[in-house]
A and B are shown apart, each in its own frame.
Chain A
Amino acid sequence: MQALLPAGVGLFAGSTAAYLAALWTSKPFVLRAAHTLLALTVLLWVGILAGSVAHLSEGGVTRFYLGGSAIALSTLYLILVRRYPVSGLGSVVSALATLLSVFALFAQQQNVTDPALVDWLLRVHIALAFIGVTAFAFSTAVSLVYLAQARMLKQKSKTELRRRLPPLDVLDQLGMRGIVVGFPFYTVALLLGSAQAIRTEHLRGSYVLAIISWIIYGVVLQARLTAGWRGRRAAILTVFGLVLALSVVAQYGFRSI
């Protein structure tokens, strides 16, 4: 099954290309083809991950969860596109899924030296962190499209692309929902991660990055709930928060525990 990983990455990249073509041509059949390709890619990844479950105790947890995030992100989009006018999000969502799948491809099989590290606390910590990161990745995809759409509206763009991207208000609401859903998971994951770090006396620089990203999402959420803060700056912060969160994931994924 692991041999199929490059094909899985290629299919996510292919889906991105198909969504870009749909955005460019505005032909309904191209969009349908892109949806189908993304759905098939998700199925392939489900197969890949199902095949790797048996080997999780030997490491490969990061790869498993990165793949899981890419699947969840794509599935969430395929569900939402049936309910909201967000087909224009496809290219960004599948591009982010491609990025996550590339991380999964190159993530190392961790060499587990301490059995304590693979106990339930670590597993729950990683699982919750990935649920949070997946939700933030979705918000980031939405925020990137928000920034593009807001810029075109501000600049009074006459291009057809402006009409093909989703409305700002829909993007704003979906982006905020992603943060609302992801933040509690990410918070608990950080708490468990800190407990694990204290227990095993493994405190790393990546925790600092994780905490900064948590603060960013906390500020965005707090400002929105209390003062209604939204728009371009909130979208930029959402993207920045994910960059930090992914850099933490990269640090875990590309070196041994």
Chain B
Amino acid sequence: MELLVLGLSHKTAPVAIREKFALSEEAVPQAAERARTVPGCHETFLVSTCNRIELYAACENGAALEEALGTVMAEVGGANPGAVRPHLYAHTGPQAIKHLFRVAASLDSLVVGESQILGQLKAAYESCRQGGQTGPVLHRAMERAFTVAKRVRSETGIGRSSVSVASVAADLARQIFGDLATCNVLLVGAGKMGELAARHFKTHGARELLVANRNFDRARALAESLGGHPRSLDELETLLSQAEVVVTSTGAPTHIITTAMVKRALKARKYRPIFFIDIAVPRNIEPAINSMDNVYLYDVDDLSGIANENLAGRKREAEAAELLVANEAERFLKDLAGSSVTPTLQALRRKADELKAGELERAMRKLGDLDEKQRKTVEMLADGVVNKLLHEVFSSLKEAARTDHGDEMADTVRKLFGLNEPEK
């Protein structure tokens, strides 16, 4: 039994193709079940995200099933197989294991190190497990993939830093205030970037969101969509004394927040710190305020600079993560090989025990009345002979399992000892 992965991702297919494969939660086990009906395919599991769709299958011969499963994949997307095939990639055996581990560890993601993919993989696997499409081979591979992903996150810095402007701003706010739940956020203006940043703050637990805009109706509409409270821009100075985080994103050609305003606001708020995020171009906040005590000002270049640095840091950490994944994949394959001789070991032990029991019974009958001590001595003799004989065979089999010769050696042992075919 080997693992096959067949899929397409942001690396191989444009969004026009990928969007065809956006499956609902309910559709995932159905698609996996359709693939499992392909002859030779025993277990399946399918994951569908906005950046990838992948079918994992445990089958007899992965390479032979690529064609048939490719057709199933095209069906799932409701696309012409000919149009989909150029975007599909396939990995079998060790390559498939390594690919799975890389995907789970977010090394194959659009933004390397993002944490969403692990949750998506877990949800998709659970859905297929409940649907009955998975089995012991996929279970083992997935469990190990989740463990590897956790190791990568905890032992490397791959997911430690933020790489979007909004998340960098939220991180900085946490470094100033500790907890976003203690922060009121004021959004000034209705620019798209500002809206994104404000939404990020709100979804990450900011206490209250105030939206101020020159056009009050626009402020009200935006506040409603963000779960905040609308305010008039005329109240700006008062609002500055109430907010810990101020995001500006207006189209104003001049500074709407000046040093004098901030000085007054600071006094009114008893010098509690304020974090200004000026995403507007041209800038809305007088840059000189950054020199004031308890005031922190970041513009869009500052935030982008940190985001880019963090991204570069993630790429550096990804090198260590790749090494960890490669080692784990190798270890998993060895464990898997070890388990391939287990049925033979079990069958041999069973047969030896049956033979021993039969011969012992015959010998006991011939020997007649034996006392307890004599009977135990005979049993020990039989145990000793069997164990010593099997010890060498077991050692050789386990040794072979660590190389590529495990299956070959297991076959030889089965022939030599007349064992039945192992259960798959």
Q: Provide the residues of chain B in CB contact with A169, threshold 8 Å.
A: 176-178, 182, 273
**Chain A min CB distance to B312 (Å):** 10
How many whole Å from A184's CB to the nearest CB in chain B?
23
Check if A108 is an interface residue, CB within 8 A of chain B. Answer: no
Contact for B175 among A162, A227, A229, A231, CB less than 8 A: A162
By a CB distance below 8 angstroms, the chain B residues around A227 are 270-271
- Give the distance in Å from the alpha carbon of A228 to the alpha carbon of B272 in the complex: 7
B217 at the interface (CB under 8 A from A): no
Most B CB contacts (10 A, CB to CB) among A85, A166, A230, A232 go to A230
Q: Known contacts A158-B306, A163-B161, A228-B270; decide if A153 and B178 are in contact (CB<8 Å).
A: no
- A140 interface residue per 8 A CB criterion: no
The complex places the Cα of A163 from the Cα of B178 at a distance, in Å, of 11
Residues of the A chain whose Cβ atoms lie less than 8 Å from the Cβ of B313: 160
Q: Which of A26, A158, A167 contacts B178 (CB 8 A)?
A: A167
Q: Chain A contacts of B175 at CB under 8 A?
A: 149, 153, 162-163, 165, 167-168
Q: How far is the CB of A218 from chain B (nearest CB, A)?
A: 18
Tell whether B120 is near chain A: CB-to-CB under 8 Å.
Answer: no
Which of B174, B271, B272, B293 has a CB less than 8 Å from the CB of A167? B174
B364 at the interface (CB under 8 A from A): no
Is residue B332 contacting chain A, with contact meaning CB distance below 8 A?
no
For the complex formed, measure the closest distance between the CB of B418 and the CB atoms of chain A, giving whole angstroms: 53
Inter-chain contact B298/A230, CB cutoff 8 Å: no
Number of interface residues of B (CB under 8 A): 28
Instruction: Tell me whether B296 is interfacial, beta carbon within 8 Å.
Output: yes
B305 to chain A, nearest CB (A): 7
From A27, which residue of chain B is reached at the shortest CB distance?
B155
Compute how far the CA of A111 lies from the CA of B175 in the bound complex, rounded to whole angstroms: 51
Does chain A have a CB within 8 A of B387? no
In the complex, residue of chain A having the shortest beta-carbon distance to the beta carbon of B301: A156
A190→B35 CA distance, assembly (Å): 83
Which residues of chain A in 1-42 are interfacial with respect to chain B, using CB atoms and an 8 Å cutoff?
26, 28
- Whether the pair B177, A153 counts as a contact (CB closer than 8 A) is no
Name A126-172 residues within 8 Å CB distance of B.
149, 153-154, 156, 158, 160, 162-163, 165-170
If the complex has contacts A153-B296, A158-B306, A233-B293, are A85 and B178 also in contact, measured as CB distance less than 8 A?
yes
In the bound complex, what is the Cα–Cα distance between A233 and B273 (angstroms)? 14
Contact among B161, B172, B271 with A153 in the assembled complex (CB-CB below 8 Å): B172
What are the 3 A-B residue pairs with the smallest beta carbon separation, nearest first? A228-B270, A167-B178, A158-B309
Can you name 5 extra interface pairs (CB under 8 A) apart from A153-B176, A167-B177? A163-B175, A168-B177, A228-B269, A228-B272, A232-B293
